């Protein structure tokens, strides 16, 4: 309940300040607004902990009191919340009424009208799920031709991708042929398939879907090479080397894809890690957010156990690495905490590693990344745990996830002798 309350307040606070991205400068502006409105001093570090830019602690009663007072003074009281709820309910109810008429034009118009609504990803994703369940392929095809429905930014776009993909991957095999044309459309690939990187089914449905795609542009080609090659590596096979890209070739690509490519190169050329880092990281961190760029770089470095590089990256980019907040940011947030904790163990600072470990919220990791991140989490947990029975329990869970995912790269020796093998 405490975490849900924090998430709710975060959203309302951002709304009052017109903030879409959390970083230190934005929080300073919010802090000033809170203190001017309430006349109370809340403290910059308190606000940074509340938003996850510093290791979080349970907010004090005084903090809750000030934040509630601020929201009340900004019209975020019980009455306004109830009105918002009724408006959101009506939006969904209207869509159900229209869907019963089978009037496709009216449905498309209504979806257009609500496409800027904060809850649109949930409404839209749920509606597509219902159409899939009903087998209404024609309307789904029509919907996937609409540009406005997919013109969303993070985190709304990520939320939509999750809802749609989770239902798509559960389409019965005997019905999948009906949906093949939809699964190959531009909007499905770019807005769903390539946004929701489903490591949980990389050796199953997601990987099979990717194998059937013929790339249409250089960015798509690189993504498929990296993710399918990484799948091969995670299955404990020798990594397949791919083309070496120049800075100019990579520059137009998405930051996460560039980071995935850098991570892939690190695994392909472990004897050249410093050279690879020096070539790409200083340039791209000038124009891209490190928390997006490093999300696949640090797992590669954990595999390589290259703590010399990890130390230099964390020292240089610590603050911007953690300057993020939305529901999907628990993927990089947890990866970075795991990496940093392992680094402290490597440095012999076990107390500091334990403190950081307690800040990891593994249960908030997006489902598509959950098992993948959990394996790295269990490696860290195993190193920290001293009780023999608990270590055995960690090992059993590790083996179970390896079996579920097929990621045989995570061997028994890798977890039990991480720092001495």
φ, ψ at 265 (rounded to 5°): -65, -35
Note whether 249 and 296 are same-domain residues: yes
Note whether 394 and 314 are same-domain residues: yes
In whole angstroms, give the CA distance from residue 242 to residue 269. Answer: 11
Residue 327 pLDDT > 50:
no
Note whether 283 and 411 are same-domain residues: yes
Note whether 191 and 294 are same-domain residues: no
Q: Is residue 318 part of a domain?
A: yes
Of 169, 170, 156, 102, which Cα lies nearest the Cα of 124? Answer: 156
140-164 pLDDT, tens digit each: 888 888 887 888 777 778 888 888 8
The arithmetic mean of pLDDT across residues 108-134, rounded, is: 83
Residue with tokens 């990594």, as numbered in its chain: 239
Residue with tokens 């349970």, as numbered in its chain: 58
Note whether 46 and 130 are same-domain residues: no
Q: Which of 43, 76, 109 is the last residue of a domain?
A: 76
User: What is the phi-psi region of residue 236: left when phi exceeds 0, alpha when psi lies from -120 to 50, beta otherwise?
Assistant: left
Q: Is residue 14 part of a domain?
A: yes
Q: Which of 76, 104, 131 is the last residue of a domain?
A: 76
In whole angstroms, give the CA distance from residue 320 to residue 34. Answer: 24
The count of structural domains within the chain is 3
- Is the distance from CB of 408 to CB of 402 less than 8 angstroms? yes
Q: Is residue 348 part of a domain?
A: yes
Domain of 387 in residue numbering reads as 218-416
pLDDT of residue 75: 66
Note whether 171 and 223 are same-domain residues: no
Note whether 44 and 137 are same-domain residues: no
Chain-centroid distance of CA 201 in Å reads: 16
Note whether 115 and 252 are same-domain residues: no
Residue 1 pLDDT > 50:
no
Question: Angle at CA 101, nearest 5°, toward 100 and 106?
Answer: 115
Note whether 263 and 234 are same-domain residues: yes
Residue 407 pLDDT > 60:
yes
Note whether 159 and 241 are same-domain residues: no
Q: What is the DSSP string of 46-82?
A: HHHHHTTSS---PPPHHHHHHHHHHHHHTT-SHHHHH
Residue 324 pLDDT > 70:
no
Note whether 253 and 181 are same-domain residues: no
Residue 406 pLDDT > 60:
yes
Q: Is residue 204 part of a domain?
A: no
155 preceded by cis ω (within 30°)? yes
Note whether 323 and 237 are same-domain residues: yes
Q: Is residue 203 part of a domain?
A: no
224-245 pLDDT, tens digit each: 999 999 999 999 999 999 999 9
The arithmetic mean of pLDDT across residues 79-88, rounded, is: 55
In whole angstroms, give the CA distance from residue 58 to residue 323. Answer: 20
In our burial notation (b when 16+ CB lie closer than 10 A, e otherwise), range 237-261 reads eebeebeebeeeebeebebbbbbbb
Q: Is residue 408 part of a domain?
A: yes
Q: What percent of the chain has pLDDT above 70?
A: 92
Q: Is residue 83 part of a domain?
A: yes
The arithmetic mean of pLDDT across residues 341-352, rounded, is: 96
- Is the distance from CB of 363 to CB of 406 less than 8 angstroms? no
CB-count exposure of residue 155 (10 Å: 0-12, 13-18, 19+): middle
* Number of neighbours of residue 188 by Cβ within 10 angstroms: 22
pLDDT of residue 89: 67
In whole angstroms, give the CA distance from residue 9 to residue 242. Answer: 46
């Amino acid at each position: 309940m405490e975490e849900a309350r924090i998430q709710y307040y975060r959203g309302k606070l951002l709304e009052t300040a017109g903030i879409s991205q959390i970083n230190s400068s934005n929080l300073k502006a919010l802090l000033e607004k809170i203190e001017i409105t309430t006349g109370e001093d809340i403290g910059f570090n308190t606000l940074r902990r509340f938003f996850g830019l510093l290791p979080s602690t349970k907010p004090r009663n005084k903090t809750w009191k000030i934040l509630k007072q601020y929201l009340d003074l900004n019209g975020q009281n019980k009455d306004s919340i109830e009105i918002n709820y009724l408006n959101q309910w009506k939006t969904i109810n209207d869509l159900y009424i229209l869907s019963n008429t089978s009037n496709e034009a009216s449905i498309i118009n209504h979806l257009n009208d609500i496409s800027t609504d904060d809850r649109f990803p949930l409404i839209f994703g749920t509606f597509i799920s219902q159409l899939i369940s009903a087998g209404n392929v024609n309307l789904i095809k029509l919907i996937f031709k609409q540009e406005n429905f997919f013109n969303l930014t993070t985190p709304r776009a990520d939320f939509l991708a999750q809802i749609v993909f989770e239902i798509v991957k559960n389409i019965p095999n005997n019905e999948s042929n009906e949906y093949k044309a939809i699964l190959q459309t531009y909007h499905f690939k770019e807005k769903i398939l390539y946004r929701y990187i489903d490591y949980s089914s990389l050796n199953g449905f997601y990987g099979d879907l990717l194998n059937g795609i013929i790339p249409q542009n250089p960015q798509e080609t690189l993504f498929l090479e990296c993710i399918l090659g990484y799948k091969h590596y995670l299955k404990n096979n020798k990594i397949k080397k791919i083309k070496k890209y120049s800075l100019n070739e990579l520059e137009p690509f998405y930051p996460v894809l560039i980071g995935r490519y850098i991570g892939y190169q690190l695994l392909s050329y472990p004897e050249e890690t410093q050279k690879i880092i020096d070539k790409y990281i200083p340039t791209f961190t000038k124009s891209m957010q490190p928390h997006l760029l490093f999300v696949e770089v640090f797992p590669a470095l954990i595999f390589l156990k290259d703590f010399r590089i990890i130390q230099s990256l964390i020292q240089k980019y610590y603050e911007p690495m953690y300057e993020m907040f939305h529901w999907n940011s628990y993927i990089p947030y947890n990866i970075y905490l795991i990496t940093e904790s392992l680094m402290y163990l490597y440095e012999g600072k076990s107390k500091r590693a334990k403190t950081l470990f307690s800040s990891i919220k593994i249960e908030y990791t997006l489902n598509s990344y959950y098992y993948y991140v959990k394996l790295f989490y269990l490696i860290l947990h195993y190193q920290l745990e001293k009780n023999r029975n608990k270590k055995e329990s960690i090992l059993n869970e590790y083996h179970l996830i390896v079996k579920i995912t097929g990621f045989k790269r995570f061997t028994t020796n890798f977890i039990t002798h991480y720092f001495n093998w």
